[in-house]
Chain A
Amino acid sequence: MTTNTSIEVRDLKKYFGPVKAVDGIDFKVQQGEIFSLLGPNGAGKTTTISMISCLLQPDSGEVLVMGHSTRSAAQQVKAAIGVVPQEIALYEDLSARENLTFWGKMYGMRGGMLKQRVDEVLELIGLTEHAARRSGKFSGGMKRRLNIGIALLHHPQVIIMDEPTVGIDPQSRRSILDGVRALNREGATVLYTTHYMEEAEELSNHIAIMDHGHLIALGTHAELIRLVGQQTRIDLTLNAENPAVLPAWQQVDGVSQVYAEDGHLSVLVNDSNAVLPHLFEAATTVDARITGIDIKEPNLEAVFLHLTGRALRDG
């Protein structure tokens, strides 16, 4: 392990009965980067995170965090990380300040140092004015922010965030993403799981794509895009179902791949401007009428589609 690696995962496996939740994955997270685990629901992201944060023992393989093994040095690992769980986990009958103070103590903080840090975190998550209110009375967004704040108290070297933006309004989501970047700028390594590819694209230095317990792709955003070639995806909608249209488009010059999913037809092309007129022509030959077009420049969605034949959202 090189000195600037924060997390190293080696051949990690976790089975629940017949379900291979995590089936032999490897990756490294470098110090100071934002690393995203991207994948649909049920891909094994949370299981992986749980093993990294010492909540689950791996069946085999190894996890090193800041050089400490989760098996043999769980306490050192826990001291080094701050975990933001997917579900909001705080004491609703305690105030924001009481929650932060309690969790700070759990990380071994005491006295004036703790008090000062609680104030800083309250400021950071924008809850200073609401510090004395019981958190049960907070709005969903405020609870999310407090949920994150708890993980930041002890200046962890690694912050692990498990889908922190699930089910919240766009505004809170924006502020969380900005917050993550700010933390990263201050030097924290962030391991971030999401099934929103936009978040992964926007935040990450490296992205690992998981599906069915496997790591199916890993790299920087640019590296991953390159997997699908610089291809553009065109989503087309027809007025009526027409099975003949797919073979017809396949014949068009410049089309590299054609998919049909949930009534949506997708075509991967190198140059959309050149190919588009020909798609209309081909449709006409089989009596199909195109009623909608959506042109998508290459993104992670396309990468996932390319690798699994399924759209990311559909899981």
Chain B
Amino acid sequence: MKLLAITLKDMTRSFRSVFALAFMFGVPLLVTGMFYLMFGGSVGSEGAAFTLPRTRVVVADLDEGSPYFQMDGDNAEDLQDMGDILTHMLSGPQLAELIEVTFASDALSARAAVDRQEAGIALVIPANFTRAMIEPQAVAEVELYHDPTLTLSPGIVRTLVERAIDSAAGPKLGLGVIVKQMEAAGLSPDAAQQQSLAMRLIGDTSGAPAELVTLRASEGEAPTADPLAAMLGLIMGGMTVFYAFYTGATSAQTIMTEQEHGTLQRLFTTPVTIPTVLGGKYLATGLTVLVQMIVLLVCGRLIFNIRWGALPEVALTILGTALVATSMGIFLISLLKTDKQVGMVFGVGLTITGMVGIFSAFTGGAPGASSVADRFALFVPQGWSMAALRAGMDGNGLVAVLPFFLGMLAWSVVFFFIGVRRFSKRFA
């Protein structure tokens, strides 16, 4: 009963502390909210895939066209040559979300705009662009000049331009192949024949290219998953884990502050045993972490529409995290001799291990990064907690969460025994 009284007292105190509340609930929600703003601000009404950033592209279209090239149809007046078609495509409404096109009169001023950081990418379409597309021997080079700090958008624009070149050059290339085959067979097609072949090829390749790939979600991933919610889930999950361990240590730190304020010594003048005091603290810390995680996960569900997975998996993760966060808190605090060293515990012990442990939350999308981050993460207890949470979110079932839960249990046991031993020695 005394143990419960200590637990109750500790919990009352931590929930009264503005500081503790700010770290328990304020910061994790704040950071997730920040990411929501960073990535989610432009999410459409359907909550579709989060958009890639918009890049400013300055185009210098120097294409002089070709006497052999003629457009017909509605747009004939605007579109004089292949360069026009390319710029038309780039500044079209479908790509408006992705790129913002402006024009420059020559290559120099286009590059200068990038140098002045007014645009991210300069696209220089050469004078012989159209000719290269249709005249047999002509070749041309399109220049893509970009700001070196950009990592994604040059690749995107490159893909767009390459695809356009591919389809525009298709008839010429196809014709080349056919003519070569005919010549090999001893035939020599005349100009009229070539013209008609070219028309057949153009007829084939005109129009929107067909979708040649169907993408389905990996096994276990909910097909209707909201990608923003999925990303926020990782961030929020990471924050929850990170700050659960923070809470573990701050709550355990009350042992130090009680010692500093003399209440711990006073406790030991009452008929209470050391294990009771430590047990009460442990329980208070564990329950506080439990409350914190439940509140945060519920908030994540309600505010950000994050799906944490099935209840048993989530419950197991919360339980395991509460255990290991508490034990790690007791362990870390047991290493301290004075209140002055607390900064070390929060700095090194928690911030560094925490960031390593939840790193996968931030690299979820980075190519090749996640598996590395995941392997690193398992060197720290936060990583196990994060892994359990993610296994639950992926819907991989209780069996997938269990190993991580057991891992957390193992960490807990080790931390608990070292921590309690050190404290018992200190106070005996």
* A107–B270 CB distance below 8 A: yes
* A107–B271 CB distance below 8 A: yes
- Residues from chain A with a CB closer than 8 A to the CB of B261 are 87, 89, 92
Q: Which of B10-18, B101-109, B326-334 contacts A (4 or more CB under 8 A)?
A: B10-18
Q: With an 8 A cutoff between CB atoms, is B181 at the interface?
A: no
Q: How far is the CA of A102 from the CA of B3 in the complex (A)?
A: 11
Chain A 79-111 near chain B by CB (<8 Å), digits 1 or 0: 101010101111111100010001101111010
The SS class assigned to the A binding surface is loop
Total number of B residues with any Cβ neighbor in A under 8 Å: 21
Q: List the 5 closest A-B pairs by CB distance, nearest first.
A: A89-B262, A105-B5, A83-B269, A106-B270, A89-B266
* A103–B262 CB distance below 8 A: no
Given contacts A83-B266, A89-B263, A93-B16, contact A102 B1 (CB under 8 A): no
Q: How far is the CA of A194 from the CA of B79 in the complex (A)?
A: 102
Q: How far is the CA of A110 from the CA of B4 in the complex (A)?
A: 12
Q: Which residue of B lies closest to A150 (CB)?
A: B266
Q: How far is the CA of A94 from the CA of B271 in the complex (A)?
A: 21
- Residues from chain B with a CB closer than 8 A to the CB of A87 are 261-262
Report which residue of B5, B12, B263 has the largest number of chain A beta carbons within 10 angstroms of its beta carbon. B263
Residues of B bordering A, CB below 8 Å: 1-2, 5-6, 9, 12-13, 16-17, 261-263, 265-273
Q: With an 8 A cutoff between CB atoms, is A54 at the interface?
A: yes
Inter-chain contact total with CB atoms closer than 8 Å: 62
- Residues from chain A with a CB closer than 8 A to the CB of B270 are 78, 103, 106-107
* B269–A90 CB distance below 8 A: no
- Residues from chain B with a CB closer than 8 A to the CB of A102 are 5, 9
Q: How far is the CA of A93 from the CA of B11 in the complex (A)?
A: 11
A307 to chain B minimum Cβ distance, whole angstroms, is 31
Given contacts A105-B1, A105-B2, A108-B2, contact A55 B263 (CB under 8 A): no
The one of B266, B267, B271 that contacts A108, using a Cβ cutoff of 8 Å: B271
The one of B1, B13, B273 that contacts A91, using a Cβ cutoff of 8 Å: B13
In the complex, besides A75-B273, A106-B2, 19 extra interface pairs with C-beta distance below 8 angstroms are A75-B271, A76-B271, A78-B270, A83-B266, A83-B269, A85-B265, A85-B269, A87-B262, A91-B13, A93-B13, A93-B16, A94-B9, A103-B270, A105-B1, A105-B5, A106-B270, A108-B2, A110-B1, A150-B266
Q: Enumerate 9 A-B pairs (CB-CB under 8 Å) in ascending A order.
A: A54-B269, A55-B268, A78-B269, A78-B271, A89-B265, A93-B13, A93-B17, A98-B9, A105-B2
Given contacts A78-B270, A98-B12, contact A85 B262 (CB under 8 A): yes
Q: How far is the CA of A55 from the CA of B259 in the complex (A)?
A: 13
B7 to chain A minimum Cβ distance, whole angstroms, is 11
- Residues from chain B with a CB closer than 8 A to the CB of A75 are 271, 273
- Residues from chain B with a CB closer than 8 A to the CB of A106 are 2, 5-6, 267, 270-272
- Residues from chain B with a CB closer than 8 A to the CB of A94 are 9, 12-13
* A85–B13 CB distance below 8 A: no
The one of A53, A92, A93 that contacts B269, using a Cβ cutoff of 8 Å: A53
- Residues from chain A with a CB closer than 8 A to the CB of B6 are 106
Q: How far is the CA of A98 from the CA of B13 in the complex (A)?
A: 11
- Residues from chain B with a CB closer than 8 A to the CB of A55 are 265, 268-269
* A91–B9 CB distance below 8 A: yes
- Residues from chain A with a CB closer than 8 A to the CB of B2 are 105-106, 108
- Residues from chain A with a CB closer than 8 A to the CB of B13 are 91, 93-94
